[in-house]
Amino acid sequence: MKSIFVTGCDTDIGKTFISIGLCLKFEAEGYKTGYFKPFQSGAYVKNNELVAPDLYELKKYSNIPAKYSYLFKGEVSPHLASIIDNVEVDIEKVKNDLKEFQKNLDFTVIEGAGGLYCPAYKGKLFSDVIKELNQEAVIVSTVDLGKLNHLLMTLECAKLNNIKVKGIILNKFPHNPTLSENNFIKELKLFTDTKILGIIPKTENPTKENIIKAFKDINL
């Protein structure tokens, strides 16, 4: 049984899209695949039901099994959202949920929120959650200005916290890159030997088919 924890060097860089892409890739390759979100904030009401937005996004493309441990309404960090909703988080519940969820799966994509130092629950960051769940990380970044700094700091943060990084996925790569964007990978390789697992082009109108095509060469 395999699993990977998808994190990022910033917010709004497409961690959910990357998680969905990995799920669709492994499903297409014949693996029993699942998506697990320990803490889902930003829930909203639709048809009198509370909707988990990232799980709902996955359902647009597939009926891959998906589960969360905690669902919060606030569009804030999971820790702050749990305070707003007056919910006490128990990491043992998360561990048990994941263990139970994985029983009949070949591969599980676990998605965090924010980055490694995003507050997850009382006194704990997502760097702690990754270690508590005994996971390897895939770090998502874009190539726009400033992200090299964020990505290198995230890699250093992982190293300081003894988090094993499987590799980097560069997301939203532009079709007409600027000089800075085009030089991003060359600059990155000057400062780290962390493997680049894949470069995902910016996709304006994603479909299941073109997502699978974009992710087909990623090797975890």
CATH number of the domain where residue 199 is located: 3.40.50.300
In a domain, residue 30? The reply is yes
Q: Write down the mean pLDDT value for the chain.
A: 95
pLDDT of 50 reads 87
User: 1 falls in which pLDDT band (50, 70, 90)?
Assistant: low
SS3 31: coil
Of 41, 22, 20, 161, which is closest to residue 113 (Cα–Cα)? 41
Q: What is the mean pLDDT of residues 179-189?
A: 95
- Give me the numbers of helices (H) and strands (E) for the chain, helices first please: 9, 11
Domain that holds residue 204: 2-215
Q: What is the mean pLDDT of residues 114-121?
A: 96
The residue-averaged pLDDT of 173-198 equals: 95
Q: Is the pLDDT of residue 162 over 60?
A: yes
- Name residues whose C-beta falls within 8 Å of residue 149's C-beta, 6 or more positions apart in sequence: none
The whole-angstrom separation of Cα 48 and Cα 55 is 17
Residues near 47 by Cβ (< 8 Å), separated by ≥ 6? none
Categorize the per-residue pLDDT at 212 as very low, low, confident or very high, splitting at 50, 70 and 90: very high
Residue 213 is a catalytic residue: no
Q: Please, which pLDDT band fits residue 204 given cuts at 50, 70 and 90?
A: confident
Return the pLDDT at 90: 97
pLDDT of residue 31: 96
Mean predicted confidence (pLDDT) in 167-175: 96
Q: What local confidence, expressed as pLDDT, does residue 194 receive?
A: 97
Catalytic residue (one of 2, 25, 32, 37): 37
Task: Determine, yes or no, domain membership for 220.
Answer: no
Rounded average pLDDT over 124-146: 97
pLDDT score at 11: 86
Q: What tens digit of pLDDT does each residue of 33-88 get?
A: 999 999 999 999 888 888 899 999 999 999 999 999 999 998 899 999 999 999 99
Please enumerate in sequence order all residues whose Cβ is within 8 A of that of 204, keeping only pairs 6 or more positions apart, or say none.
Answer: none
Which of 40, 105, 33 lies closest to 62 in space, CA to CA?
Answer: 33
Domain membership of residue 80 (yes or no) is yes
73: in domain: yes
| Total domain count, the chain | 1
Residue with tokens 């992982």: 158
CA angle 90, 102, 79 (to 5 degrees): 25
Residue 169: inside a domain, yes or no?
yes
pLDDT class for 186, splitting at 50, 70, 90?
very high
Pairing of strands 107-115, 33-40: parallel
User: Cβ distance 19 to 111 under 8 Å?
Assistant: yes
